[in-house]
Amino acid sequence: MKYIKLLHNPTAGEEDHTRKELTPLIEEAGWECRYSSTKEKGWDKIEPDTEFVVVAGGDGTIRKAALTLLERKFSDKRLPIAVLPLGTANNIAKSLGVTGSNEEIINSWKSGTTKKYDIGRIEGLPQPYFAVEGFGYGVFPRLMKAMKKVDKDKKDTPEKALQTALEELHAIILAAEARHYHITMDEADHSGKFLLVEVMNSRSIGPNLVLSPNADPGDGHFEVVLIPEDQRAALAEWIKKKMQGEETLFDVQPINGNKVAIHTDDTVLHADDELIILEEPAKATIELHAGVLEFLVPGNGA
């Protein structure tokens, strides 16, 4: 019998996402399942005979588990991570091509392949941060700030949370000031005034904002999205269509890079789902570390 470790966020998802439901599905597929709740102390203890780790939760849980596993002692074997996406947006899972029901995803593991996954290390702030999905400034971190003040009953289901986030973002885009960012990317200058600056490792951020549809989180470079003032109306209209259920792609061409330095007076920024509010402006540098994580993905290599 092969052993897997299930790291589960019990507060994510619906009733069919409980330990009582997930563990039998995994064991019926042929694995012995050891369980830890990410809400309990000692959740990150991994037994030596574990074949791979399963993270069941949203983007925040996946990030938390992935970075914790990354910090394991160098002598410990690097374990692949399988994902059961139970969150609101599930941007990481979608970038990996992991979609479908829990049962379908679990059954795909036996024929799955491993995929390297890059991360970004951010320096120059009061403390270092890591980015699994993305890092940036402008309207998106301001949306994160606004969502903290939204009534809980407007975000108590994934569907309501996504819709509320889109409504808030639409209002922010219409009112936000375009700010100046001094940006160098692999020594090339890309400075200017922008509504949104995103150094992306996944294809989407936040409420499923697909800003880099061709992004591959294991391709060895970031996709940097810069949206200037003259695209405000187009950006607002794109969000409005998403609010109405119409899925289209936003017309923006990301720029590839491996090391991005951003110097600005803007003190509101984010690393993945973590909102960062600085006491004073800082020059932040994010550098790509290629292939340091490994995920188990469907056999088509998506």
Contact assessment for residue 297 and residue 98, using Cβ atoms and an 8 Å cutoff: yes
Distance between CA atoms of 76 and 10, rounded to whole angstroms? 27
Residue the block writes with tokens 């780790």: 53
pLDDT of residue 282: 97
- Phi and psi angles of residue 211, each rounded to the nearest 5 degrees, phi first: -100, -15
What pLDDT is recorded for position 87?
86
User: What structural domains does the chain harbor?
Assistant: 2-110 (3.40.50.10330), 120-289 (2.60.200.40)
pLDDT score of 209: 93
Q: Measure Cα distances from 228 to 109, 166, 179, 190, 235 in Å.
A: 42, 20, 9, 12, 10
pLDDT tens-place values along the chain, 302 residues long: 689 999 999 988 665 588 999 999 999 999 999 999 999 999 999 998 999 999 999 999 999 999 998 887 544 678 999 999 998 889 999 999 999 999 999 999 999 999 999 999 999 999 999 999 999 999 999 999 999 999 999 988 888 999 999 999 999 999 999 999 999 999 899 999 999 999 999 999 999 999 999 999 999 999 999 999 999 999 999 999 999 999 999 999 999 999 999 999 999 999 999 999 999 999 999 999 999 999 999 875 44
